[in-house]
Amino acid sequence: MDHAATLAAFDRQLRNVVRPTLDGGTFERVGPVIRCVSPNPDGWSGIEWSDLNESDADEVIAEQLRYFAERNRAVEWKYYAYDEPADLPDRLRAAGLAPGEEEALMVADVDDVPDFPSPEGIRIVDVSDEDDLLRVKAVHDAVFGGDHTPMIDSMRQRLHTGAVGPVLALAGDEPVCAARVDFHVGTDFASLWGGGTLPEWRGKGIYRAMVSHRARLARARGHRYLRTDALPTSRPILEKMGFVRLTTTVPYTRP
């Protein structure tokens, strides 16, 4: 994989582009930023891409924060390590945004992802009905905390379009891991999200099998790359499965 070319394709196809959001909103280009306001107060609103310099960064940041405040929205500024200016993180913090945990943007060619089978006693199923969507929610609520109703509402809306592929790992009839793959139509990329496994079922190869399963789904849809934002806990597994780190990303947020 040509790392620089793949990162440029990611930026061109997924970041620096105006497209519908996952929950019915729309990204919009406003001068040097692309922003999103979710129609759902609990949905994702923020800045996906920016092209700032030292002379305009502070003014643009303040303007965008005012915009979201006037609409009573929490805001996330999605910062990537190659974004300019070089001191953008300092400027975001000075404007009142708090940094979250650093994640690695990891990408793999779908043809390079090994085909790992499900562990003994585990079966992976593609989600297609309401009962399974509620089981996905239950796993995410248990693993990550909080209420994932907005995420499930978005999946429900997109299932019939084929834009998302939720999956469950079952031990008998018990859901033990849940995840999804988003298919970015018209691009080379599909995105992996979730992959939450109940604590007592970790370390058995379930997460690895779920990645392989979603790679097969993406390959069948004609996508070349899988991307994910990986925390330190999942990076070693992904690296062994052919993923490479292209850069890092940090969410800067204000409630």
Average of pLDDT values for 112-136? 95
Every domain of the chain and the residues it spans: 3-105, 108-246
Tell me the pLDDT of the chain averaged across its residues.
93
| CATH 3.40.30.10 given to domain 108-246 | no
* CA-to-CA separations, 249 to 27, 64, 100, 137, in angstroms, rounded: 19, 20, 10, 26
Nearest-CA neighbor of 215 among 254, 172, 167, 249? 167
pLDDT band, very low/low/confident/very high, at 154 (cuts 50, 70, 90) = confident
pLDDT at 21: 66
Average of pLDDT values for 106-131? 95
Question: Scanning the structure block, which residue is given the tokens 């109940």?
Answer: 198
DSSP 8-class letter at 241: T
User: Per residue, what are the HEC states of 193-239?
Assistant: EEEEECHHHCCCCHHHHHHHHHHHHHHHCCCCEEEEEECCCCHHHHH
pLDDT-above-90 percentage for the chain: 80
**Which of 43-47, 183-187, 200-204 bottoms out in mean pLDDT, i.e. has the lowest?**
43-47
- Whether pLDDT at 106 is above 80: yes
- Whether pLDDT at 144 is above 80: yes
**Cis amide linkage into residue 85, ω under 30° from 0:** yes
What's the predicted TM-score (pTM) here? 0.89
pLDDT at 19: 78
State pLDDT tens for residues 190-246: 999 988 999 999 999 999 999 999 999 999 999 999 999 999 988 999 999 999 999
Average of pLDDT values for 96-120? 96
HSE-up (13 A, CA, CB side) for residue 127: 29
pLDDT band, very low/low/confident/very high, at 162 (cuts 50, 70, 90) = confident
The first and second tokens of residue 98, run together, are 């708090």
Average of pLDDT values for 41-54? 91
- Whether pLDDT at 23 is above 80: no
Average of pLDDT values for 40-66? 93
pLDDT at 22: 61
- Please state, in angstroms and rounded to a whole number, the distance separating the CA atoms of residues 48 and 106: 17
Question: Scanning the structure block, which residue is given the tokens 């991307």?
Answer: 227
Average of pLDDT values for 144-172? 89
State pLDDT tens for residues 86-101: 999 999 999 999 999 9
